[in-house]
Structures are given as C-alpha cells and as structure tokens.
Structure 1
Amino acid sequence: MTSPCIDYYYSVRSSFTYLGSARLNALARRCDVRINHHPIDLGVVVSSFHDYPNQQPLDRPYAGARIYESSPTREAYTQKEYRRWSQRLGIPMNVDPSHHYGPRELPSGSVIVAQRRGLDVDALSHAILQALWRDDRDIASEAVMADLLLSVGIQDDAVAFCKEAVSESVQLEFRQNSQDALAAGVFGSPSYLFKGELFFGQDRLDFLEEWMVQSLQSDEA
C-alpha cells in the first residue's frame, strides 16, 4: 500500500505560503506523513479562472511578475494582513520585499531536483521562501541558491544542481505541476491535498490536520 502524503501545490514566491511553510513541515512530522512538493506557476493557475472580469493581465516579461494590477488600497491592506499574521504566528516577515516579483524557474526547479534526488526538500523549500520573505534575497540567483543548499545541509555540487534545476526535464515537470494543480481544483497558493480533500490557505492548516488525523485513524481501524 502506498503511504499517504500531502500534495502541496504552491508558488515559491507566495507570501502566505511562506507563513504556512514551517507549520506544514511540523504537521507532516507529527503525523509521520510525507509532503509531495508541486511548485507551480501561480500566474498560469490564477489566469485560468475568471475572478478579475474587468481587468486584463499585465504583460509579464518573465514568470513571476504580478498577474493583475492591484490598487494602492488593496496593496496597503494586504501588507497590513502580512503584519497581522507575522505577529500572530511569531514569524519575521518583510512585507514588501524588493525581490517579490521575479523568475520562478530556478527556485521552483531546485525544489523539484531536491525531491527527485531524495534530499531534504522540506527544508530547502522553506529556506527558499524564508530567503525571499524574511531576508529579501534574490531567489533566482544561483549564488543565493548555492548558499541555501548549504544552509540546509545539501552538499551536492551547486553549479550542477542549478543547471539541472533549469533543465528542460525539470522545467517540464514545473509546467506540468500547474496543469495538475488545475485538474485537482487548485486556484491559489498554498493549497494542500490529502486523500481527496483540498485545503486552500495557510489559515486552513488546522482543518488539514483534523482531516489527516481522522483519515489516518480510519485507516488503522
């Protein structure tokens, strides 16, 4: 029998994914369940839904740019929400990092490579999110990625690792993840799927845990 896992669909540049990352890792450890990482292109996923009928997507010179223009009022409120959650959870956060929008290929591919190689993908994924949202580092930089690999104990050759991360094979999986997310009913980041039940948002982790405990206990009965 295949061991149950959490299918984790998320953008490596998502603010609320960062706020839930460490707690998701802790939840998986408590329940002894593996996390199956599916980094996605959030632009592909969000633009597949028609939640913005009066707006046209902005030109995106590279993956990772903002998808729709946001009003100053909405931007200000969003940053206020970041501060509230940061304080509530005790998680340091830069609410307006200069590197928020940028390429996703290298950081997303790095998660995929770590998972393929059986490395500590949970730690690397969190380190990438933390580097952006706590430390405002450029996660599309190979030099930054090399530092992050070492920070989580990954000793693999960083140059070769980064080269593989942007290879066609890995990027094909990255693109496929977005299609798989849509097929699973995902419309935002982070989204967690466990035994057929989808949970959207880091503020739904408690519901995810309740469902996991219930499901795992039923399996043992």
Structure 2
Amino acid sequence: MTLHADLYWSFRSPYSYLATSRYRKMTERYDLEIALKPVYPLAIREPDFFERNHPNWLGYTFRDIMRLSEYLDIPMKPPKPDPIVQDIATRKISDDQPYVYRLLRCGQAAARCGRGFAFADEVSQLIWGGTEGWDEGDHLAQAAERAGLDLAELDAEAVRDAEALDAELAANQDALEAAGHWGVPTLVFEGEPFFGQDRIDVALWRMKQKGLEER
C-alpha cells in the first residue's frame, strides 16, 4: 500500500535544501509518494522577521547549515544570487525581487503535474550546492530536464497563470498552518507535522508504524 505525505518547502530555506534529497531517496526506497507544497519564504511572508529576530540568529544559522552540510555530506555554499534580494548587513528586504516569484510559480506549476519534488531537488542543488549564476545560461533548463520537465513550458505557465498559481501558493501556507506548523521544511503525514530536517528519521518511524514498506 502506497503511503502519501505532503512536504511544505521553500526555495530560500537552506534547511529545506538539506532535507530534500533525503526525502527523495526515501520515496525511491519505500512505497511512498511525497507531494511538494511550495510556500513563500519568510522574507515574503514576514519581511520584518530578520529585523526583529535576535542579533545572533543569522550568524548561528549560517554556522549551523554549514556544519550540517558537512555532517550530512551534502555540498553547500551561500547562493549566488540569493533567491531573495536582501541587504544582509541591515537585514532589509528589497522591494524588487526578480528571482523568487519565478521560482515559486515554476515550482507550483511543476507540483501541478506531480513533478514538484523532483524539480525542487534539482533546482535547490543549483542554488545551494555552489553553482554561481544558477539563474543564467541553461542551468535551470537542465535542472528542469533532469526533473522530467521543460523550463520553457513552466515559465510560460508561470506567466499565463500567475494569479492562480499565487493563490495555490497561499493555500499551501494556509494548509501548513492548519496542520499545526508554520515553518519549513515540514512533512505532514496523516495530519501530523514533522518540522525540520532533523525530524526525517522520526517521520520515517511514524510511517513505518502505519505500514510503510520498502519497494
């Protein structure tokens, strides 16, 4: 029996990136389907989040993600460009955001056809895995192709159906909060949220209790 779960996820979240390939490997090993539910980054949902957080928060987060990437043996470098245009020194979020809405709408378009998880994995490897200028040339097109998708078709849908895609993205956030959390990455299985890249083993344990089997 195939089990199903939803993964609430952000292109800007380094912890989402650190979780994605591990959840994808889980779907390859077990009779499990995970539907990607992209959500807006905190910088879009709560632009003042970085300014009102503790001054140590940002520095610790950078230290922690680099340590985790080494521990998990997952390549990671600060994204160039950052999906969110932000002055790190002042933590001010720019009004002009040329990257994130394209990523979100393409990600949701990929999710519509059941390829969102693969698209997120491939694209996040570009953004967080050390590819400078990931938004240039054919980097994204090749990532989409590896995910079984056509970037030109995704971009066209993102422009043509922007309003509906944005409504679906907002609905994803509402569904995440209705399930009992607000952050990413959060896996929701049978209504139970598992927040963070450090809860993957706990989610697997719960799914095995519910009959998850290897393929």
Q: TM-score, normalised by structure 1?
A: 0.77
Residue 160 of structure 1 and its aligned partner are, at CA, apart by 3.0
Superposed CA deviations along residues 160-216 of structure 1, whole A, max 9, x for unmatched, are 321212422222211211111111122211000111221000000000000001112
Match of 2:154 among 155, 161, 165: 161
Match of 1:126 among 115, 121, 134: 121
Question: What is the Cα-based RMSD across aligned positions, in Å?
Answer: 2.8
Question: How far apart are the structure 2 equivalents of 1:197 and 1:40?
Answer: 18
Aligned CA distance change for structure 1 residues 159 and 143 (closer, same or farther; 3 Å): same
Structure 2: tracts of 5 or more residues without a match: 86-98
Aligned CA distance change for structure 1 residues 142 and 71 (closer, same or farther; 3 Å): farther
SS in 2 for 1:38: strand
Instruction: Establish whether residue 114 from structure 1 lines up as the match of residue 114 from structure 2.
Output: no
Residue 116 of structure 1 and its aligned partner are, at CA, apart by 2.0
Residue 122 of structure 1 and its aligned partner are, at CA, apart by 2.5
Question: How far apart are the structure 1 equivalents of 2:204 and 2:6?
Answer: 14
Residue 35 of structure 1 and its aligned partner are, at CA, apart by 0.8
Aligned CA distance change for structure 1 residues 105 and 190 (closer, same or farther; 3 Å): same
Q: Which residue of 2 aligns with 1:210?
A: 205
Q: Is the 8 A contact 1:192 1:198 kept in 2?
A: yes
Q: Which residue of 1 aligns with 2:35?
A: 36
Question: How far apart are the structure 2 equivalents of 1:171 and 1:35?
Answer: 21
Question: How far apart are the structure 1 equivalents of 2:129 and 2:84?
Answer: 15
Matching of residues 182-193 of structure 1 within 5 Å: 182-193=177-188
Letter in 1 for 2:75: P
Question: For structure 1, which segment, 9-18 or 132-141, has the greater mean C-alpha deviation from structure 2 after superposition?
Answer: 132-141
Question: How far apart are the structure 2 equivalents of 1:130 and 1:182?
Answer: 27
Superposed CA deviations along residues 108-153 of structure 1, whole A, max 9, x for unmatched, are 22222223234x4322110121111112556667964323212434
SS in 2 for 1:185: coil
Match of 2:101 among 93, 101, 105: 105
Matching of residues 1-221 of structure 1 within 5 Å: 3-43=2-42, 47=46, 57-58=47-48, 67-69=49-51, 73-95=56-78, 97-102=80-85, 103-118=99-114, 120-137=115-132, 144-154=139-149, 156=150, 158-166=151-159, 167=161, 168-216=163-211
Question: How far apart are the structure 1 equivalents of 2:212 and 2:138?
Answer: 45
Residue 44 of structure 1 and its aligned partner are, at CA, apart by 8.4
Q: Is the 8 A contact 2:79 2:132 kept in 1?
A: no
SS in 2 for 1:68: helix
- Percent identity, aligned pairs only, is 28
Q: TM-score, normalised by structure 2?
A: 0.79
What is the aligned length?
Answer: 197
Residue 76 of structure 1 and its aligned partner are, at CA, apart by 2.2
Question: How far apart are the structure 1 equivalents of 2:212 and 2:173?
Answer: 31
Residue 31 of structure 1 and its aligned partner are, at CA, apart by 2.0
Q: Is the 8 A contact 2:11 2:104 kept in 1?
A: yes
Letter in 2 for 1:202: Q
SS in 2 for 1:198: strand
